[in-house]
Structure formats: C-alpha cells, structure tokens
Amino acid sequence: MTAGSPPPLPPLSPAAASLSAALQARAEKATVSRATLVEAFSAALPGLASGEHARTALATLLHELADHRLLNLPTSRAHWDAGRPRLPEQVRLPATTQATPRAPREPVSWRPELDWAYTARLTAAQTEDLLACNRWFRDSSNAPDRRTPIPLRERSYEIFRDEKRLDALISGALFAPGRLTLDQLATYRQPPPLAHHQLGDGDTLLVVENSDTYATLHDLIAKQPGRIRFIAFGAGRSFEASVSRLTELSGIHRIFYYGDLDADGLAIPARASLTALQHGLPPIEPATDLYRLLLGHTPTPSALVADDRAQTLTAWLPAPLSTQAHDLLTAGQRLAQEATNHNQLSVDSSWRT
C-alpha cells in the first residue's frame, strides 16, 4: 500500500456475498431493476429481508457491494426513492460480470451436487471453475477424510491451486441460492481473532474501534464495570469479519459499539450487525452516550459523503444523533473517537449510563 492510499477493504461480508451472487444469477442485462433487487434480497437473505430493519439492511449491503465495485449505484437523485434510508430504483452491474454465456466445448457429466449446472447459463470461466469443483466432488466422494471441513483458503488451494479463488467466487453467480454452498465444499470462512478482556459479570459487551480509546475505556470501566462483562478491540474494519467470534463469548445479551464518526466508522458496526444477526447474536447497538459526548467536540475536515450514503450510514444511530451525524458527513467533516480522551471520560461520567 502506497503512502496516502486508502486502507484495503475487508473481505466481503457473508450477507453481501450472498446478495451479490443472487443478483448476478438473476441479472439478464447490466441494469438491474428494483424488483429484481428485492427478489434477490428475499431469496438470498430471507431473515434480513423480512426483518424490522429490512430497508436499512438492503441499503447497507448495496453500498458495501458498491464499495467492492460489484455494482454501480445511480448518480442521479431521480433514480433513488424518497424513503429513509433511500434505495435505488435500479443498479448497474459491471460489464465484466455480464460475459456472454457459452456452452462447454463437450458435454459434461456433472456430479449430483452440481445437477443445477445442466440448465444454468454459464460463461466459459464459470464452467472451468465448476469443472474444478466437479473433479473435487468426484475424487472426494469415497474419501470421507477429504470431506472434513477445513478453512476456506485451504480448500480453495486444494480445488483450484489458488488459495484466493473461492474468495472471488462466493460473491458471484455460482454461489447464488440453490447453487454451490460452502457446506457442500466442506469449508468455512475463518474469522480473524477478536481481542477482548473480561471486566465484570454483567451481560453486555462493549466494542471499541481504535486501540488508544480501547485502552482508555478498559482502564476506566475495569474500576466500575457495572453491566459490562467484556470489552473488545474492534481493530477498525477487522470487526466486520471478527464479529462472528462473539459466539464464543458466554453470557452476552447486548453488544454496544463505539467508533469514529465518519463513513468507515459508521459502516463498520452497521455491516457487522448484519453478520451478528445471521449468527444468532444480538444486533450491534451504538454506545449513544459516548457518541453524544463525541458530537460535542469540534470536527475536522474529511471527504464529502453523498446524501443518500450518509442517510444509510447514519440510520444505525438513534435520533437526534443520526441527524447530527448526517449533517457532519455531508458537510465533509468527521470526529475521531480519540477526541473523547481519558481526561474527559474520567471526569464526565454521563457516558456510563
């Protein structure tokens, strides 16, 4: 990474990968309508699509896919609805995902796990990837030890001799609902570790985005933990993947998050919350009293955030904090959580509620 370049994006979340695969399997042309978006969302993620916050979940996932350049969102306000957060009337898939389907050069005898491939519209590249999977299904069918689940990149190397190939494929049409699954390939995403420390016997976990603020809050809460059972270091964008590790912590009924008030700082908990819900965990809630203190500080310049994206990002916060944060982002400003430093937090105890 060169100096001044943005940090690399975290891996695509499982929810976003599922939605991307469902979209690509349904898209017959580059432009995808709202109806197809909703249909793909419902098929790929029925739990999120029928939940109380379905609109926010869909908006969050669409922006994540746009960040990863797996789709393009409209640039004209006319192509967005008037809801909160706004949803696009259509999106556009990059041309590279819309290759002309080609039949295999010769008939293929697909394994039972790939019966759907007989009628699927497959590109030449997709056919080659499926043939590699077909060989693995064939060669491992009478070898139970080879079907023992192993981490994603280990399985990817075994099948493709490329440890990152499955990372690319899981967001594509081959992994759309009713097609390939990680369970079939006897593999799973290995989330990164989550640094945490037990402070008390309560039922609450507090996740803190950055290391210095984590150290400050650890020091202050340890003296009077109240309902805080664990404090965890989110490590920035890593928390989007490491959130699934929270299933290893017992006695947690609520999860609170405190991070920067900028585009990344708000996208992290919103996306992590969708992953948490998929793993049967409580949603990620904002540590509102800490954010309230943070909003009392003077912001610093940052990149402008478009209104539609700012609405999606700040929907995670309750009013009136969401309105204040929206105004901050659209004005090209940010607030780093380090503004609420050890001195302030040790004197002002209002954040403890």
Closest CA to 238 of 256, 218, 264: 264
pLDDT: which is higher, 84 or 333: 333
Across 259-267, average pLDDT:
97
CATH of segment(s) 195-352: 3.40.1360.10
* Structural tokens at position 89: 């009337």
Burial class of 111 by CB neighbour count within 10 A (0 to 12, 13 to 18, 19+): middle
Q: Where residue 95 falls among pLDDT bands split at 50, 70, 90?
A: confident
> Per-domain residue ranges for the chain?
14-97, 112-188, 195-352
Q: Which residue matches tokens 């809460």?
A: 221
Q: What integer pLDDT is reported at residue 2 of this predicted model?
A: 47
Q: How far is CA 116 from CA 44, 45, 109, in A?
A: 17, 20, 12
CA atoms of 260 and 223, how far apart (whole Å): 25
Q: Which of 154, 109, 155 is CA-nearest to residue 131? A: 109
Q: What's the pLDDT at 3?
A: 47
Report the predicted TM-score, pTM, of the whole model to 2 decimal places: 0.84
Tokens of 282: 């409580």
Please give the Cα distance from 37 to 290 (Å, whole number): 36
Residue 9 has pLDDT above 80, yes or no: no
pLDDT per residue over 115-154, tens digit each? 999 999 888 999 999 999 999 999 999 999 999 999 999 9
In this predicted structure, what is the pLDDT of residue 99?
Answer: 46
What's the whole-number average pLDDT of the chain?
A: 92
Average pLDDT over residues 207-230: 96
